[in-house]
Amino acid sequence: MKMIEHGNCHREVQLGAGSVHVFANDEVFATFGQRVFEMAEHNLRIPRNVYFSYTPDAHVGVGTCIGTTAVWNMRDGFVSPSIVGSDIGCGMRVHLTPLHRDELKDKQLKRELIQAIETYVPTTERGQTSYTDIPLEEVVKYGLNGLPAAYLAEPADEPGGVSRSLTHVEKHTFAFDHTALAHIPAKSWQRAWGQLGTLGGGNHFIEIQSLEIADDNREIAQEWGLFDGQVVIMIHSGSRAWGAMLGRDYTKSFKEAMFKWGIENPEPSLVYAPIDTEEGQRYLNLMYSALNYAVVNRHLIGYAVERAFQDVLGKAVSTPVLYDLMHNYALEEYHRNTPMLVHRKGATKALPAGHFQNPKAYKKTGHPALIPGSMGTSSYIMVGAAGGAKNFYSICHGAGRIRSRKATKEAVTINEFEQALRIGQEDEILVNHRSLEAILDECPQAYKDVDQIIDSVVGAKLATVVAKCKPLIAIKGV
């Protein structure tokens, strides 16, 4: 394994089938095990790859590492469900509040907020949607534009303008060939409809946080409506059963197609097909339906959390969306004056000021890049830098696991988890579970040091920090 040092936390590791660019400081790079590079070698066997990289949070996943950016030309390239991930459209959303953290010091008040949020947002797998008036077909076809008008009543930035719900998102509608929906079985429609506006388990969460503005980016923070001590709402969720069904079914169908074509790969869970094949086109179309579902799902969670805040703190509390973006997808984007299919699996797009792909609301500054920490540690709001072009404007999507769920339960005690949440102290992070055993596999000790991850991204000149988000309340699904 040869390595080229490009400087600024950027290494190019040369493998037999090609190169993987790694963006990590020395401390983080030392945590990358051999298996991570084996998976890169196997992924690079997919023909005609244009670019392949790992962000500092990269760790072993199914078929492909989480933390991967992989790029092919649209003209003759490949699409891979494995490099999209099973939770298609999984991503982040942040809502602002007018509150200062000092207004949420009272623990009883915070417990009331937890209870109110759980009243509106199901946090168990069996929890059912309360949005029975929303037609699922409109959601998967048109994304946020498929919602009834009542759910898009959030104020616009200007009188007579479009709701922020549609302007302050990575994309409000992902267009695709709707005839592809004929391939979805009836039982999948019913299950996915029942999960609209639900959180899901694993690493998904709702956190109430307070901001510390970075001195170097105070002007951008002010432009975005951020201030020191501000209470914000961070949401992490995806496409629930809809995306999971597509990931499962199309992994199977791609495997069958690869067998038919005589294509083999040493990575048994890695599947791929040419973009222009029937399999590739059907997957891409249905993947976009899952992206539509995912952005609506997070929107409805945010809508419900605002109702909870109003129930507890008064109807005057407004929680406008700051931004919504995804970190599991494959999108056609223009880079180097060429249409390319950019896969991001556990990687976040971070465009700099002035980039043409920014939504109109963020053309001047670049859009917010939302990076969660681990439960009990800080999250970050960042903005892309011009240097991000070298990595197709991808940065980390979080801290990145350093232990599997099973290994975490074996290695970390409940007492250690309690200490990480500062239980019993004045700045205790309140959670929605009476027993921490149910969520032990999501404790901070399961993850890399998020501050080192952010240091790597900044050191690589991919993005800069606008605000650090310190957790006050953590709501996890099971």
Q: Distance between CA 50 and CA 72 in Å, rounded?
A: 5
Residue 281 has pLDDT above 80, yes or no: yes
268 marked among binding-site residues: no
Confidence at residue 238, expressed as pLDDT on a 0 to 100 scale: 95
Other Cβ atoms less than 10 A from the Cβ of 315: the count is 9
Task: Report yes or no on 298 lying in a domain.
Answer: yes
**Residue in the block written with tokens 């991850």:** 453
Residue 434, domain member (yes or no): no
Question: Which residue in 433, 446, 418 sits closest to 477, CA to CA?
Answer: 433
Whether residue 316 lies inside any domain: the answer is yes
355 is annotated as contributing to ligand binding: no
Active site residues: 397
Number of structural domains found in the chain: 1
Tell me the CA distances in angstroms from 288 to 74, 177, 249, 299, one per residue in order: 16, 9, 15, 17
Kindly tell me the burial class for residue 250, based on how many C-beta atoms sit within 10 Å of its own C-beta (0-12, 13-18, 19 or more). Answer: buried
Domain harbouring 244, CATH code: 3.90.1860.10
Residue 435: per-residue pLDDT: 79
What pLDDT digit, counting tens, does each position of 355-408 carry?
999 999 999 999 999 999 988 899 999 999 999 999 999 999 999 998 889 999
Q: Per-residue pLDDT for 213 more than 80?
A: yes
Residue with tokens 């105070």: 218
User: Residue with structure tokens 């992989």?
Assistant: 70
Q: What is the pLDDT of residues 135-163, one digit of tens each?
A: 999 999 999 999 999 999 777 777 777 88
Tell me which residue range forms the domain holding 190: 2-402+447-476
Q: Is 242 within the bounds of a domain?
A: yes
Residue 245 lies in a domain: yes
Residue 161 labelled as part of a binding site? no
Asked if residue 337 is part of any domain, the answer here is yes
What are the helix (H) ranges across 9-153?
26-29, 34-43, 107-120, 136-142
Tens digit of each residue's pLDDT (9 = 90 or more) over 90-119: 999 999 999 999 999 999 999 999 999 999
The confidence score (pLDDT) of residue 67 equals 98
Confidence at 424, pLDDT banded by 50, 70, 90 = confident
- 250-274 pLDDT per residue, tens: 899 999 999 999 999 999 999 999 9
44, with CB counted inside 10 A (0-12, 13-18, 19+), is middle
Return mean pLDDT, the chain: 94
Q: What is the pLDDT of residue 293?
A: 97
Q: Would strands 463-476 and 430-431 be described as parallel, antiparallel, or unpaired?
A: parallel
- Quick: pLDDT tens for 305-331: 999 999 999 888 999 999 999 999 999
Measure Cα distances from 203 to 6, 46, 356 in Å: 33, 30, 32
Residue 52 confidence (pLDDT): 98
Q: Tell me the average pLDDT across 75-91.
A: 96
Residue 207 marked as a ligand binder: yes
In a domain, 429, yes or no: no
Decide if 452 is inside a domain.
yes
